[in-house]
Amino acid sequence: MLDTKSIGVDRYEIVPIGQINTPFKQKFTVPRQPRLINLAKGVITLNKPFDDVNAVAALSSFSHVWVLFWFHLNPDNKSASSNLYKWQPMVRPPRLGGKEKVGVFASRSPFRPNPIGMSVFELESVECINGHVEIHVKGVDVVDGTPIIDIKPYIPFSDSINEAKGAFAQLPPISPFTVEFTPEANEQLERLVLDAGQSLEYSLEVKSFIVEILSQDPRPAYHKQNSEQQQYGVELLDYEIKWVLQDVLVTVTAFKLLK
């Protein structure tokens, strides 16, 4: 672990400008890249003094935005001697099956010297509600409550590079699983939706979202070595969801309202 004092590196303070609310209440099932799940929507709310409508003037004229954020759920395991976040120079990207290693700077691992993430989201709208700025985006890949440290417009002529090479992540991931719902799960979801005063159409939207998430195989790499039937639980949207994986079939078995 390097000591910044010994190498003459300045330290800088980052102040979050806001936070984002998303359907993902825990790290499990968060998409590994942005824009993989088109139905995954988020709302960025700005903190004072940044929640000034003038700060987002003309932002709505762009179709996409770069969002920089802080991996706040990483273990706070700073080195006592240097106050740097502990990190490893080699990591195991999920796209390589969790087996092969690459350099941390050749990956998008959240475990970095500075735990900063960067994603491009589709911009749906910019609203000012009761004096507070809300930025609505979709295709998100971050946990609910993630601190936002900056927002920049996506500029196609400079940010889009047609001849770019993606190394081990050149192609988008394949959705390996089929997702189905038991009759009991369907009934539970419909009852929860109606009890909340929502229409049954919303239950179809929820199911479509869950299919997109679970068909991508959100499990950590070390779980993928087990070919036996596996049971999982996850918190998404307003629900605790139970599901079972057997071979390439995901069966959603239960819905329960989060407390």
Q: What is the pLDDT of residues 14-69, one digit of tens each?
A: 999 999 999 999 999 999 999 999 999 999 999 999 999 999 999 999 999 999 99
pTM, 2 dp: 0.88
pLDDT band at 174 (very low <50, low <70, confident <90, very high): confident
pLDDT computed for residue 42 by the predictor: 98
pLDDT computed for residue 8 by the predictor: 55
pLDDT computed for residue 83 by the predictor: 58
pLDDT band at 94 (very low <50, low <70, confident <90, very high): confident
Q: What is the pLDDT of residues 179-223, one digit of tens each?
A: 999 999 999 999 999 999 999 999 999 999 999 999 998 887 766
pLDDT computed for residue 79 by the predictor: 54
Q: What is the pLDDT of residues 154-170, one digit of tens each?
A: 999 999 999 999 998 88
Domains and their CATH numbers in the chain: 4-159 (2.40.30.70), 178-257 (3.30.2310.20)
Ranked by mean pLDDT, the top range of 42-51, 68-77, 93-102, 125-134 is 42-51
Which pair of structure tokens corresponds to residue 113? 């010297």
pLDDT computed for residue 6 by the predictor: 47
Q: What is the pLDDT of residues 8-28, one digit of tens each?
A: 567 889 999 999 999 999 999
225 or 166, which is more confident: 166
Instruction: Answer whether 216's CB lies under 8 Å from 31's CB.
Output: yes
